Structure 1
Amino acid sequence: MTAALARSLESPVRRLRLRVRGAVQGVGFRPFAYRLARSMQLSGFVLNDSAGVLIEIEGAAAGGFSEAMRSGAPPLARIDDVDVMELAPAGGESFEILESLGGRTATRIGADAATCPDCLGELRDRGSRFFGYAFVNCTHCGPRFTITRALPYDRVQTSMAPFPMCRACAADYADPENRRFHAEPVACPACGPRLSHPIEDVAVAIETGAIVALKGIGGFHLVCDASNDGAVSRLRQRKARDEKPFAVMVADIEAARRLCILTDVEEALLASVARPVVLVEGRAAGLSPLLEPGLRRIGVMLAYAPVHHLLFDALASMDPHRPAALVATSANPGGEPLVADNADAERRLGAIADLIVTHDRDIAVRADDSVMQVIDGAPAFLRRARGFVPEPVDLGEDGPSVIATGADLKNTVCVTRGREAFLSQHVGGLDNAEAIRFQEEAIAHLCSILDVRPDYAACDLHPDFRSVRIAESLALPLIKVQHHLAHVAAVAAEHRLAGPVVGLALDGHGFGADGTAWGGEMLVVDGSQWRRAGSLAPLSLPGGDKAAREPWRMGVSALVAAGRVDLAADLWPGHPGVSQLVTMFARGMQPAMTTSLGRLFDAAAAIAGVRLVQTYEGQAAMEFEALVGEPRCLEGGFVIRGGIVDFGPLVLHLAEQQPGPSVAADLFHGTLITGLAEWAAAEARRLGIRQVALGGGCMMNRVFAGGLARAIRAHGLEPHLPRLAPANDGGIALGQAAHARQVIMQESMQGEEGRTCA
């Protein structure tokens, strides 16, 4: 007996009711509370209900229970709040776990979690009934979000409902001392889901160069041998994915170390229970060069589902001397959403995969792999989905419930409840019927598991966005939020920045408040109020949307702006499109204009000879970033006047001197960092503001974003990068929802003041 417990037992008997809120269902919280109460000689009960977990405890040590509960909570639990109420002692000798209660939901389900060490041990233990079982799990691991249809989180509400437990599983489920106590997905080979093919057959197919569609936790992967050039080439051809990089999966952190150069932060991120794809520096370690053409970093993730571990074990048994790395890319043909349904897989993946491996546990809601990287010493999202959704962003104060429909590219939706904002899993581009259905599915599922009926909707300003039309169809009071304001508002919301903030929103493009294409903006935001304080010097967009796909067009545009279009013939000799475009400018053509930093990246990449035509979004900028050795600023490479920052001198230097791609990459990144930091710092000093929010897709460039944050810090300011939501359009919905709440609450306050004055 500890001294603290001994002292507490000398205290008078107390009875307390504890209301525990947070991610506390489906994570072993009730058996944890049961064991803790018994160890402290307390009577009472614990149960799940719609608000979270309700506990009543009685005994001399009751006063120390809350602190002990917080400090020793299960690994997947997240305690947001504990309300404690004093009750009159009622007597009792035992502590019980009671049945769940229903009602309006105010709790949340946990995210899907990678297989824990205990389950992995059983998976490989010939003496365990879970040996070789592809669906082993417990309260510390396994699927949560992707199998749950509604709360409270009980088996009947999940896709495990069709699988009655056998006697052994039922005994584990009912035993508070067992780590499978009320683990809703619990199952074994006698009673649970099954794979459609033996894992040994899957391993043989991969070893012989086949492409396999493998159903996992959140959907299907397309899998092949990452060292087999022929298999990777066939996958690119069948998936119509010419050069966009593929992620790879490895068995464990030791395998990742052999393939990659890892920092401590990257290792911790890779090995976390969320198991995201992490962009890291690659080694020359036998992987196919077709995985990430033109790039230095590769996306790597560790095996996270039992079926993945079984597959790697089977491959190792076939060739123990060759470290296995598998391409594991989302199964979504032609830019469509992730495939998650068995029949859908046969229909949509039959022309891509040589073998389709399914299982009979439904995926209630699909979720892609999350993708992350380390920027400025801390993790940041490129795509937020499996392993993190539906963990909320704490907005710091209660507010109205808003649903935000995001952008048309890299779409996510966001629903707020109280002080929390719940960002959906990655949906993708809303340019096909499958994607629209997926967004509708994500909205319905999020509202269902949160038990929320939003009072307001928020969306973009763009008149032609599908996401805007979806918001309009919700028949709710609608607040439209400018695209770049949403980028800044998302960063301000997650960091809970109070008062005015200088925001830099730097991306490819977005519909501006004046109807033009913005993309390099300095905004000043203070609650519901905002203004555009400056922008990059505008460039023309020759060919409209073609300019985003063909960087040479932006190269010509930048030369026109610099007054040296004559250099185009030297930079791109014999290019028919260049000569035609130069002629059109000479005849007085006046295309639409943009302030986009993303298009300036394209222009510089084209002038440096890196990339003239893109096969996927951001390719030119990503390849340009990969060439950077040490960023350095070109003296006189930018001009700031009247709130406009102009990098024309830098562009002209690159065109005239043609220093080579690597030197150009160093100069371009270094000069951008210095110029933008000075630009933001001047406005911040003028206004007496220290907080600078950095958002937009350009913040996914690790060299640029990290360098800009450090440069702003050197000016004595506090930079804030996106951490809890992607910097790109995947975070737009969070910003829309956060800003809409500010507008609603401000209008409500003004209304109250008006009524008071009246």
Structure 2
Amino acid sequence: MRNSGQIIIKGIVQGVGFRPFVYSQAIRFNISGNVKNLGSEVRINAFGDNFEDFLCAVSKGTPLSKIDSVTVLEVTGNNPGTFYIEKSSRGELTGFIPPDVAICDDCISDIFQKGGRYENYWATSCVNCGPRYSIISDIPYDRERTTMDKFPMCKECLLEYESPKSRRHHAQTIACSSCGPGIFLLDKKGEQVCTDDPVKLAASLLDKGHIVAIRGIGGFHISCIESSAGKLKECLGRTEQPLAIMAKETAINNIAYVTPEDKVTLNSPEHPIVVLNKKDHGSHPDISNMNTIGCMLPYTGLHHLLFSKLKNPLLIMTSANAPGNPMVTETDMAVLKLNNCVDYFLTHNRFIQNRCDDSVVREGYIIRMSRGYAPKRKEIDLGNLCILGTGPELNSNISIYKSGFCYTSPHVGNVRNPPTLRYLAETVENIGSLTGANYDIIAHDMHPQFLSTKFAKEMTKETGAETVAVQHHRAHIAAAVADKPDEPVVGIATDGVGLGDDGKIWGGEIFSGVLTDLRRVAHLENVMMPGGDLATKFPERMLYGIMPEERVKDLLISRGWGQMEINLLEKQVEKKFNVAETSSTGRILDAASALLGICREKTFDGEPAMKLESAGASGKPDKWDLTYYKKDGCRIFSTKDLIQTAFDKTDSSKIPDIAASFEYNLARGIAKMAVDAANEAGIHKVALSGGVAYNHLFRETIKEEIISSDLEFIINSDYPLGDGCISFGQCIIAGMSKR
């Protein structure tokens, strides 16, 4: 039996209370020695008869830690006779910092404990909860390298910080109302409103219908009660886009169906927005005019204080940013940009080092990966080169591969917008600094006009790294099969847009092979997009591009199209002037939504397809005949025939039934091509990725068809199904191609 040793524990061991945890276990097992934070690992020198029990205990880690390896070496030096925590040093950079997490139950109790030190204090936290990524500027994770450095601890906080018996032992975010960040209420001009209790007054103003911008741990939310939701939407220019709500669990249960899995997600340390099915599809139309509603529980001390004083059962909580732009983080910028629709600002004076939006989850699948889930660290062997994946153009983030781990940033947004492109660059710098990255390869989307591609090429001039272009949909498949990237797979990629090998817009693709040689073997029919991007904004143009027929023209005229507009559209399609071709699944769903009169103009990303799904939620799907043909060695599913079938049925069927049937048969057709491709190649795994897979009926139909064909169905629950997985997939393909 060993009675001494040097224990090296590698992994996510910073910002998770690991050193105080080790200290507590040393006291418990009568161990002397020391523990030191070395960036991505902790080094423990331990002496004592209970060494083996101590080793077993510390190897389990804390709730927020992730242990990669535990190594025991021979200890050098003498037994100090006591146990103490050494000052940190930088060391290696393979571990990383954990994401921000929700306030824990113990800290919530502290906030509401009468006469307690933390009573009514908005920034209460401990080693088990609160901000991490949003406040860190460098590692190792110590207070002087966070934005808490501006708030020296008072005597009482210092006592807790140094006490091994305290839950806040070495908690870098420890603060109280005497020494920590303060909370303030400002009017729309940015002038402070005099009050002893800013949170109480803010709750009162919200109850009266005012709109209040609330500064959280990762940026500003814009908040109001339900009766003010219409006013807020009008002001933001998002009249159709659903808004998320924050409410206590009882209120959420009254509004929506909460499965046991949803309940776990809502209450998890991540506390994301969870998209739930409404109990009454027509309820709360000013918040969401769909069959679903995004709900989250209060996740900071400020939120819990606000709800304790609020009379209304729920609050709208939407990110303070224009669509596709970064979340507003600083108070002066919030006052400048939001005062046209915000009446008051509830803010604080702790600097937000790294902005972080709310994560969004539906049925266990991540839609937006941010607070709680990112930055994300994934163990994967892609060789010895350091790789940066710059992501797509929409719903972007970045990934960095280094020394056996891939690190993916929180959601960045639409980098077509200059502020978001700058945020992308900031994120590369921040994550790169935290990981000590020195790039050998910069992977980017194959589309030469994407600003993320241009950014990658600019970076190569600065770094000397090699660029690798990765086709968008192959990156989707790579992210889906990351756990076994060397095995052959049939991949289904279903999304809105991505440049294909042939220069056309892909988005309904079947691939076959290994990741370094994924061959396109089947796809949706290429159809016309009159006006290119204009057809995505006005999906009736998409409908006519698929079916340039008299009955479609008659339909458009009946909806108010002028004869001149019809003539121009007809000539455009006939001459193929400014007409793109696409195999996109998203564009086909857009056309179906336009055909049924569900959505005639897109006002936010994914709106036509989302509204089609919502309309079909109450419908009963029927099986339709499906048409396939072969061209250029690929099997092709005729979506024109599918649209024509839907058109034929509009006179005799209910809209919900047609909507459900269209989604169901589109999924059947895609699944059939994938099953046939798998059987022809002798491949037993089929992976699904792409934003369309969030559609419940579409995804579950494909899953059922794959499994019923005795094939293994693979779908990613660790990364977004949409474009939030692209940068990760880019790293995988770039790395494997260079091994």
1:632-672 CA distances to partner (integer Å, 9 max, x unpaired)? Answer: 35231332544112233322111112123211112112212
* Equivalent residues in 2 for 1:313-462, closer than 5 Å: 313-315=308-310, 319=311, 322=312, 324-333=313-322, 335-374=324-363, 379-396=364-381, 398-462=383-447
Which residue does the alignment assign to 2:191? none
Select the residue among 668, 672, 688 that pairs with 1:694: 688
Displacement, 1:698?
0.9
1:236-263 CA distances to partner (integer Å, 9 max, x unpaired)? Answer: 1221112111000013x23321222100
Match of 1:666, as an amino acid? A
- Conserved 8 A contact 1:395-1:496: no
Match of 2:4, as an amino acid? R
Displacement, 1:587?
4.6
Displacement, 1:351?
1.5
Which residue does the alignment assign to 2:481? 492
Distance 2:58 2:65 in 1: 11
Displacement, 1:435?
1.0
- Conserved 8 A contact 1:159-1:363: yes
Distance 1:276 1:341 in 2: 22
Displacement, 1:222?
0.2
- Conserved 8 A contact 1:212-1:223: yes
Displacement, 1:284?
4.7
- Conserved 8 A contact 1:333-1:348: no
Which residue does the alignment assign to 1:4? none
Distance 2:301 2:540 in 1: 47
TM-score between the two structures when normalised by the length of structure 2: 0.93
Distance 2:112 2:283 in 1: 28
Q: Does the alignment pair 1:463 with 2:477?
A: no
- Conserved 8 A contact 1:571-1:607: no
- Conserved 8 A contact 1:571-1:655: no
- Conserved 8 A contact 1:333-1:349: no
Distance 1:396 1:188 in 2: 44
Which residue does the alignment assign to 1:750? none
In the alignment of these two chains, the number of paired residues is 714
Displacement, 1:93?
2.8
Give the match's secondary structure for 2:108.
helix
Select the residue among 566, 571, 582 that pairs with 1:584: 571
- Conserved 8 A contact 2:509-2:524: yes
Displacement, 1:285?
11
Which residue does the alignment assign to 1:303? 298
Identity of aligned residues (%): 32
Which residue does the alignment assign to 2:188? none
Distance 1:200 1:271 in 2: 25
Match of 1:365, as an amino acid? N
* Equivalent residues in 2 for 1:271-286, closer than 5 Å: 271-284=267-280
Select the residue among 676, 700, 714 that pairs with 1:720: 714
Distance 1:128 1:638 in 2: 71
Distance 1:256 1:512 in 2: 43
Select the residue among 688, 694, 705 that pairs with 1:711: 705
Distance 1:258 1:56 in 2: 54
Which residue does the alignment assign to 1:645? 637
Distance 2:622 2:404 in 1: 43
Distance 2:559 2:329 in 1: 48
Distance 1:589 1:647 in 2: 19
Select the residue among 239, 253, 275 that pairs with 1:242: 239
Give the match's secondary structure for 2:251.
helix
Which residue does the alignment assign to 2:189? none
Displacement, 1:414?
0.8
Which residue does the alignment assign to 1:264? 260
* Equivalent residues in 2 for 1:157-196, closer than 5 Å: 157-196=145-184
- Conserved 8 A contact 1:556-1:565: no
Displacement, 1:357?
1.8
Select the residue among 99, 103, 109 that pairs with 1:115: 103
Displacement, 1:189?
0.6
Distance 1:581 1:636 in 2: 34
* Equivalent residues in 2 for 1:77-96, closer than 5 Å: 77-87=65-75, 90-96=78-84
Displacement, 1:174?
0.8
Distance 1:719 1:630 in 2: 26
Distance 2:267 2:391 in 1: 30
Displacement, 1:283?
3.3
Distance 1:525 1:480 in 2: 19
Q: Are residues 335 and 106 of structure 1, via their aligned partners in 2, closer, same or farther at CA, if it must alter by over 3 Å?
A: closer
- Conserved 8 A contact 1:631-1:670: no
- Conserved 8 A contact 1:505-1:695: yes
Give the match's secondary structure for 1:173.
helix
Which residue does the alignment assign to 2:46? 57
Match of 1:522, as an amino acid? I
Displacement, 1:20?
1.2
Give the match's secondary structure for 2:245.
strand
1:5-52 CA distances to partner (integer Å, 9 max, x unpaired)? Answer: xxxxxx4x4322221122211211112112212222322211111232
Give the match's secondary structure for 2:558.
coil
Moved more, 577-586 or 91-100: 577-586
Give the match's secondary structure for 1:627.
helix
Distance 2:591 2:260 in 1: 36
Q: Are residues 94 and 626 of structure 1, via their aligned partners in 2, closer, same or farther at CA, if it must alter by over 3 Å?
A: same
Moved more, 82-91 or 639-648: 82-91
Moved more, 61-70 or 621-630: 61-70
Q: Are residues 525 and 210 of structure 1, via their aligned partners in 2, closer, same or farther at CA, if it must alter by over 3 Å?
A: farther
Which residue does the alignment assign to 1:141? 129
Q: Are residues 651 and 33 of structure 1, via their aligned partners in 2, closer, same or farther at CA, if it must alter by over 3 Å?
A: same
Match of 2:567, as an amino acid? Q
- Conserved 8 A contact 2:619-2:657: no
- Conserved 8 A contact 2:382-2:735: no
Give the match's secondary structure for 1:249.
strand
1:180-231 CA distances to partner (integer Å, 9 max, x unpaired)? Answer: 01111110011010011211110111011111111000000000002x1xx1
1:669-711 CA distances to partner (integer Å, 9 max, x unpaired)? Answer: 2212222111101111111111112111211222211221222
Match of 2:510, as an amino acid? M
Q: Does the alignment pair 1:656 with 2:648?
A: yes
Select the residue among 121, 124, 127 that pairs with 2:115: 127
Displacement, 1:396?
4.5
RMSD value, Cα:
2.0
Distance 1:63 1:168 in 2: 36
Match of 2:269, as an amino acid? V
Distance 2:622 2:710 in 1: 20
Q: Are residues 559 and 696 of structure 1, via their aligned partners in 2, closer, same or farther at CA, if it must alter by over 3 Å?
A: same
- Conserved 8 A contact 1:16-1:86: yes
Q: Does the alignment pair 1:553 with 2:548?
A: no
Which residue does the alignment assign to 1:76? 64
- Conserved 8 A contact 1:390-1:424: yes
Which residue does the alignment assign to 2:665? 671
Displacement, 1:292?
1.0
- Conserved 8 A contact 2:545-2:573: no
1:254-273 CA distances to partner (integer Å, 9 max, x unpaired)? Answer: 33212221000001000001
Displacement, 1:467?
0.4
Displacement, 1:397?
5.4
Select the residue among 577, 581, 584 that pairs with 1:596: 584
Distance 1:263 1:225 in 2: 26
